[in-house]
């Protein structure tokens, strides 16, 4: 019977001797190849021995591979959506979360953009003053604490045997961390008043007010 392939398309379910079977193919002699659903047995029978369970559908063109993949992908997407819905996920919550994430500004590319500005390095000058904690001895007048760049300050007692009254006074001695000894001495003289003499030491020289604050260079090793 040559019309069997049209009456029983491959994949259709038919009845053979009261058993449900699946059409798996068509033999060259017109018989229909079937598989018994209850036993799994495969055999070839004439088409007049089979009874269709449904009206035969018109055979359409076979699906292309691209169409088959598209259909499979659609089924997978529907199944994934169904599983997410069973898990209690709310699409509206995902939308809110995505909008919140997208509103966060992107991190700057350069690490310097988020780092605090580094402090400017001190300029390298010959007169740069190193950071030194001043040392103050007892008995100093109050004005000494206002003098900058002090390394140490103390009182040098006067010599009562000196002929010049200026040399009998106690002198304020300040050791500076930098500067010119003559200029330091002149500034001290303006602050000291008549009751104290002044002596200024710097890393490069010394000056005494009784000598007119003329600077004397110190020898360096």
Q: Which residues, other chains included, contact 78 with Cβ-Cβ below 8 Å and sequence gap of 6+?
A: none
Residues paired with residue 218 on neighbouring β-strands, in sequence order: none
Whose CA is closest to 164, among 204, 140, 197?
Answer: 197
Residue-wise pLDDT for 24-79, tens only, equals 988 877 787 888 888 888 888 788 886 877 654 444 555 555 554 555 566 565 66
pTM of the prediction? 0.41
What pLDDT does residue 19 have?
82
Alpha-carbon span 21 to 5, nearest angstrom: 15
Q: How confident is the model at residue 174 (pLDDT cuts 50, 70, 90)?
A: very high
Cβ proximity of 24 and 12 under 8 Å: no
User: Residue 183: helix, strand or coil by DSSP?
Assistant: helix
pLDDT at site 192: 92
CA separation for the pair 175, 147 (Å, rounded): 11
Q: What region, left, alpha or beta, does residue 102 occupy, with left being phi > 0 and alpha being psi -120 to 50 degrees?
A: alpha
| pLDDT for position 221 | 52
pLDDT digits (tens, 9 = 90+) for 118-149: 444 445 445 555 578 999 999 999 999 999 99
């Amino acid at each position: 019977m040559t019309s069997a392939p049209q009456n029983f398309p491959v994949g259709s379910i038919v009845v053979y001797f009261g058993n449900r079977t699946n059409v798996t193919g068509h033999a060259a002699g017109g018989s229909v190849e079937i598989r018994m659903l209850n036993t799994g047995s495969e055999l070839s029978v004439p088409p007049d021995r089979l009874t269709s369970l449904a009206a035969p559908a018109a055979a359409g063109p076979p699906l292309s591979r691209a169409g088959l993949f598209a259909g499979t992908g659609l089924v997978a997407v529907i199944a994934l959506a169904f599983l997410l819905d069973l898990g209690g996920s709310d699409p509206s919550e995902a939308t809110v979360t995505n909008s919140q994430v997208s509103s966060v500004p992107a991190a700057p590319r350069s690490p310097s953009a988020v780092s605090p500005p580094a402090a400017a390095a001190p300029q390298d000058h010959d007169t740069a003053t190193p950071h030194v904690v001043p040392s103050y001895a007892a008995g100093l007048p109050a004005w000494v604490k206002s003098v900058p760049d002090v390394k140490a300050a103390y009182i040098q007692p006067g010599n009562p045997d000196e002929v010049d009254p200026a040399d009998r006074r106690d002198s304020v001695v300040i050791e500076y961390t930098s500067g010119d000894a003559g200029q330091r001495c002149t500034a001290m003289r303006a602050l000291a008043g008549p009751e104290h003499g002044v002596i200024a030491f710097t890393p490069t020289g010394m000056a005494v007010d009784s000598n007119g604050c003329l600077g004397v260079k110190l020898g360096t090793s």
